[in-house]
Chain A
Amino acid sequence: MDDIQKNLLQQVAGLHEVPAGAYNIRANGESVGRATTAHIDIVTKEDRQGIDIIIKPGTKNESIHIPVVLSQSGLTEMVYNDFYVGDDCDVTIVAGCGIHNGGDEESKHDGIHAFYVGKNSHIKYVEKHYGSGDGRGKRIMNPQTIVELDEGSFMEMETVQIRGVDSTKRTTNAKLGDRARLIITERLMTHGSQRAESFFQVDLDGADSSANLISRSVAKEDSYQLFVSKMNGNNRCAAHSECDAIIMDNARISAIPEVTANHLDAALIHEAAIGKIAGEQITKLMTLGLTEEEAEAQIVNGFLK
């Protein structure tokens, strides 16, 4: 891998070198490194682009890294990665996509990640998006995540997109079984003329299932963000979604929440707040000696931390 690819890898997966545990690194449309462990197998799909990640029941304290980097301008790919997680597992999965586009053609990565999580398993899933390069070609990422949580399982999903992605459409669909829990944390910042759209649909099908969706975003300059969340309470369950956004400059943000209770004991809450940085917050930090710009940066960084 060259330096540009190594930098992308560091940004999206925090990797300086080959990670411990299982991994599959995809660069410019090809697998450039793979490792499996005694409990985690990675198999190339026969019928289409992508891999199957098979995690044996009872696998604990292991990690899987599957970062994707694109540094070739004009490359467009659609990749399917399916995770089959056995019962009683506890694993961390780090995905992420970095695009460096130094040319004039559009570079695009569409990744579809499906998680089939077995009974009483715990998954931590981290996905970071990052773009760089000064070419006029756009950097586009459209991730789709499909989650099916079996009885008593728990998934924590963390998505981060802080800079450099021109256009993104994120779709997340989750189905929760009995006592399953899902926590999704989204952090997003857009600038320039970027567009970012997030669609979440969570079906709480199981008794005593719960979901918590927390989105924190900052829209700067002429960028646009759309946040749509649909929570369907189909059983005795609890769901909470929260969209908190800071708007700056000429940006635009839409938040469209929808909560549907199809069961008497479904308790569903949605909170959405969009607003500019409060003037008094800037004033307070200025009284501590920060300039107005430093105060603004501190507030935005803290908000997205």
Chain B
Amino acid sequence: MLELQNLSFQVSDKDSPQKEIIKNISLKFDDHTFIAITGPNGGGKSTLAKLIMGIEKPTSGKILFNGLDITDMDITKRAKLGISFAFQQPVRFKGIKVKDLIALAFGSSLSTNGACEYLSKVGLCARDYINRDVDGSLSGGELKRIEIATIIARNTPLSVFDEPEAGIDLWSFNNLIKVFEEMHEARSNSLIIISHQERILNIADEIVVVSDGQIASRGCREDILPELLNGAGGCKFYQ
């Protein structure tokens, strides 16, 4: 499905001419799996997700998607190949309605009922939202759920979620877990979810711990989760 080969990403700023955010990461993900990527803040998780979608370009290394080298492809080409990306901070648009955004994600014209179905899955009462603008009039939690609805509507072979739990209230979070469980149970697509949440880690097939731009550990949840919860592996964050 997805393979990262010796992937590195550096940025320059005035304090340090070259700061390495991702350090020579190699990873291979199988088809139809649910991978959770976790680790301390600032460790490079979100950057890794952006590199997969093409929002950032690696300094070196390769990214293969179903055997195809996509390293030099732009975001649009990767999206068309079947990669989706849910933003940690959803983008606001003046003048684009919730229904329009979901239809754009779906890829062709979509009936109001069709759009409502996706909104219902993320716990939004569709009738109240469908004709609202995706702008500042919606709360952070509402925008986040709409963002996730766009990913469900796309239904692509690979979906990458960057901290889907951020900004979501507890009630919605329970629904969100259900959404991920359903997506996973269908086993038709792969999921990569960047998360700090134990309940998300708990339903993943595999957990990858990224810290300081490197892979600190990787394995099935039965092995990794107890380590994380016990504070082993340098992840005191989870204690």
The CA-CA distance from A284 to B96 in the complex, in Å, is 13
If A283-B55, A288-B105 are given as contacts, then 8 extra A-B residue pairs at C-beta distance below 8 Å, sorted by A number, are A286-B76, A287-B55, A287-B75, A287-B84, A288-B107, A289-B107, A302-B93, A303-B94
Chain B at the A interface: SS class: mixed
Q: Residue B226 at the A interface, CB < 8 A?
A: no
Which of B75, B93, B150 sits near A299, CB closer than 8 Å?
B93
User: Which of A278, A281, A288, A290 is packed against the most chain B CB atoms within 10 Å?
Assistant: A288
Beta-carbon contacts of B127-150 to A below 8 Å, as 1s and 0s?
A: 000000000000000000000001
Chain B min CB distance to A162 (Å): 14
- A104-156: which residues lie under 8 A (CB-CB) from chain B? none
The CA-CA distance from A304 to B95 in the complex, in Å, is 7
The answer to whether B94 and A302 touch across the interface, beta carbons within 8 angstroms, is: yes
Residues of B within 8 A of A261 (CB): none
The answer to whether B107 and A284 touch across the interface, beta carbons within 8 angstroms, is: no
Q: Residue A244 at the B interface, CB < 8 A?
A: yes
Chain A min CB distance to B120 (Å): 20
The interface of chain A, by Cβ under 8 A from chain B, is 216, 244, 278, 280-281, 283-292, 298-299, 301-305
Residues of A within 8 A of B91 (CB): 278, 280-281, 283-284
A288 in contact with B95 given A283-B75, A302-B100 (CB within 8 Å): no
Residues of B within 8 A of A216 (CB): 94-95
Chain A min CB distance to B92 (Å): 8
The interface of chain B, by Cβ under 8 A from chain A, is 53, 55, 74-76, 79-80, 84-85, 87, 90-91, 93-97, 100, 104-105, 107, 150, 154
**What residue in chain A is nearest B97 (Cβ atoms)?**
A302
The CA-CA distance from A210 to B158 in the complex, in Å, is 52
Residues of A within 8 A of B100 (CB): 302
Chain A min CB distance to B115 (Å): 14
**What residue in chain B is nearest A289 (Cβ atoms)?**
B79
**What residue in chain B is nearest A294 (Cβ atoms)?**
B76
The answer to whether A305 and B95 touch across the interface, beta carbons within 8 angstroms, is: yes
Residues of A within 8 A of B104 (CB): 285, 288, 290, 298
Residues of B within 8 A of A284 (CB): 87, 90-91
Residues of A within 8 A of B84 (CB): 287
22 contacts between A and B (CB under 8 A): A278-B91, A281-B93, A283-B91, A286-B74, A286-B76, A287-B55, A287-B79, A287-B84, A288-B79, A288-B150, A289-B76, A289-B79, A289-B80, A290-B104, A298-B96, A299-B93, A299-B95, A302-B95, A302-B96, A302-B97, A302-B100, A303-B95
Residues of B within 8 A of A287 (CB): 53, 55, 75, 79, 84-85
**What residue in chain A is nearest B81 (Cβ atoms)?**
A289
The CA-CA distance from A290 to B79 in the complex, in Å, is 8
Residues of B within 8 A of A280 (CB): 87, 91
Residues of B within 8 A of A244 (CB): 94
**What residue in chain A is nearest B75 (Cβ atoms)?**
A286
The CA-CA distance from A292 to B55 in the complex, in Å, is 13
User: Which of A281, A283, A287, A290 is packed against the most chain B CB atoms within 10 Å?
Assistant: A287
Residues of A within 8 A of B55 (CB): 283, 287
The CA-CA distance from A283 to B154 in the complex, in Å, is 16
The CA-CA distance from A286 to B154 in the complex, in Å, is 13
Chain A min CB distance to B33 (Å): 21
The answer to whether A290 and B76 touch across the interface, beta carbons within 8 angstroms, is: yes
Residues of B within 8 A of A292 (CB): 76
The answer to whether A291 and B76 touch across the interface, beta carbons within 8 angstroms, is: yes
The CA-CA distance from A278 to B97 in the complex, in Å, is 17
